[in-house]
Amino acid sequence: MSMQAVPLAKAYRLLNHGPTVLVSAAADGRRNLMAAAWCMPLDFEPPKLLVVLDKATYTRELIERSGEFVINVPPRRMLDVTVAAGNRSGREGDKFVELGVAAEPSQRVAAPCVAGCIAWLECVLLPEAHNQSRYDLFIGEVVAARADERVFSDGRWHFGPQDDALRTLHHVAGGAFFAIGEELDG
């Protein structure tokens, strides 16, 4: 198992470079996942994050009912799953089954983690009715974080030549993505 705990004070670093994410949630025996490009850190410690969730999404409904969600960072080899997760609704069936992805248990919340992802940030919703209704904007406090030690350790992402399939995805629009590229030292 290559998923290792990330100290909460360093959890923001999993999202700091702007990857596209999968949001997963569960309530009343149902579960779902969706893709989201609008997700970023909001605070260091306790770590908080922001995610924009359209009113039409079933995942949002599950989050509003359960007060919990997981932010999953999909790697390049999950590009097709990420595109498909953004293009269909989970209201009809079980999108985990339809997309052929497995759910992994979370440590602190009931929402499932998406197997194959390279980071998992388990979140408790911090309710802000005005932001949620006016801007579709949700705030989560990160209560547990894990990442794939092959590409994230000592608080840093590191993608070697052998890790191309594990690079993060960054959505531009309409199914056009970038993989994250070369490491630079400023």
Q: Smallest gap, in angstroms, from Cβ of residue 163 to a second copy? A: 12
Beta bridge partners of 75: 168
Q: Which of 4, 5, 7, 18 binds a second copy (CB under 8 A)?
A: 18
Q: Smallest gap, in angstroms, from Cβ of residue 97 to a second copy? A: 21
Q: Smallest gap, in angstroms, from Cβ of residue 36 to a second copy? A: 10
Q: Smallest gap, in angstroms, from Cβ of residue 156 to a second copy? A: 6
| Residue 150 lies near a second copy (rule: CB under 8 A) | no
Q: State yes or no: cis peptide before 161, omega within 30 of 0.
A: no
| Residue 37 lies near a second copy (rule: CB under 8 A) | yes
Q: Smallest gap, in angstroms, from Cβ of residue 41 to a second copy? A: 6
- Interaction residues for a second copy, span 125-144 (CB under 8 A): 130-131, 135, 137, 139
| Residue 184 lies near a second copy (rule: CB under 8 A) | yes
Q: What is the Cα–Cα distance from 85 to 45, expressed in whole angstroms?
A: 30
Q: What is the Cα–Cα distance from 43 to 59, expressed in whole angstroms?
A: 23
Q: What is the Cα–Cα distance from 165 to 168, expressed in whole angstroms?
A: 9
CA-based torsion, 50, 92, 30, 120: positive or negative? negative
61, containing H or E segment: helix 58-66
Task: Kindly tell me which of 19 and 112 has the beta carbon lying closer to a second copy.
Answer: 19
| Residue 80 lies near a second copy (rule: CB under 8 A) | yes
Pairing of strands 21-27, 119-125: unpaired
Smallest CA-to-CA distance from 34 within 75, 118, 95 is with: 95
Which residue, chain included where needed, has tokens 């990442």? 147
Q: Which of 8, 27, 30, 52 binds a second copy (CB under 8 A)?
A: 52
Q: Which of 60, 148, 157, 166 binds a second copy (CB under 8 A)?
A: 157
Which residue, chain included where needed, has tokens 């989560």? 140
Q: Which residues bind a second copy (CB under 8 A)?
A: 10, 13, 16-20, 37-43, 48, 50, 52, 76, 79-80, 82-83, 130-131, 135, 137, 139, 155-157, 167, 169-173, 175-186
